[in-house]
Amino acid sequence: MAESTYAAVLATGARAPLANAVAFFGMLVTGVALYLPGLAGAFGSRGAVKTVHLAIAAAWICVLLVVVATSDRAALLRTAREIERLGPDDVRWLTGRGGPQGRFNAGQKAHAIAQAAFAVLFTTSGLLLWFGERDTSLRLPGTIVLHDGLTVLASVLVAAHLFLALVWPTTRPALRGMLRGTVRREWASEHHATWVPLSQPTRDAPPSAWVSPGTWALLALAAAVAAIAAVELT
Ligand code: HEM
């Protein structure tokens, strides 16, 4: 019997998640080696590890820009809007009281928003570290704490994400959505009851949503810059 599936889960297909995953683990391994000088020696020299860390960071940013440039941008924008909007049903879902979910459940939305904020903060703090070596006025004492703190937070989040995607039986079927772009209809109707079926035209997220925080990433950035400035001024 042919599989009954729901529409594409991600506008970028598997390209963006794969680029993110490969780059994240590359930067994590090289970053940890930079943090632990003994480990950097095992990879050659600290200088070599740092070059690889920065090369992966540059490649990561370029690949994400290419993915955005070559994707269906209208679909990408719809996806971003859908992720940004959190409503009463999402709060109910997050607090374990049910609440019907759309294409992304509230946990997936929160995770995506956090990772977007982390991407902005990693890039900002990484660039400050890099420019700080060339211009001492950009050498802010809080930057390395922020970069290290983000590494810990992002690693915890990614570990939980991998556990849910690869191990936990009730959430594991969602992995297929990331890799193949579709999920089984029965799975979708059970876990994503308000999602639009493939046969109907895609519509924007419901207008009842409360917040539209692409702003979240910017707020996190502003908070981090304020924190760095505060550390700098004390
Ligand atoms: C655009 C993204 C990034 C840029 C531009 C960047 C840049 C840098 C730079 C310039 C350093 C300082 C190297 C030195 O000590 O001389 C550094 C260190 C480090 N990075 Fe990144 N990085 C980025 C993303 C990441 C990510 C995604 C992770 C983790 C998953 C990470 C983890 C680390 C760690 C753990 C260190 C060592 C910090 C320490 O010595 O305490 N970085 N990075």
User: How do the domains of the chain map onto residue ranges?
Assistant: 10-71, 84-194+210-234
Residue 80: what pLDDT?
86
d(CA 36, CA 49): 11
The answer to whether the predicted template modeling score (pTM) of the entire model surpasses 0.85 is: no
So what's the pLDDT on residue 196?
60
pLDDT of residue 106: 92
Spans of the chain below 70 pLDDT:
1-15, 196-219, 222, 229-234
Nearest CA to ligand 1 atom 5: 126
CA 75 to chain centre: 18
Q: How far is CA 101 from CA 32, 191, 233, in A?
A: 37, 7, 45
The candidate with the shortest Cα–Cα distance to 224, out of 150, 139, 134, is 150
Q: Whose alpha carbon is nearest atom 23 of ligand 1?
A: 126
Sign of CA dihedral 148, 154, 157, 160: negative
In percent, how much of the chain has pLDDT > 90? 34
| Residue nearest to ligand 1 atom 17, measured at CA | 126
CA of 53 to the centre of ligand 1 (A): 7
Ligand 1 mean position to 147 CA, how many Å? 6
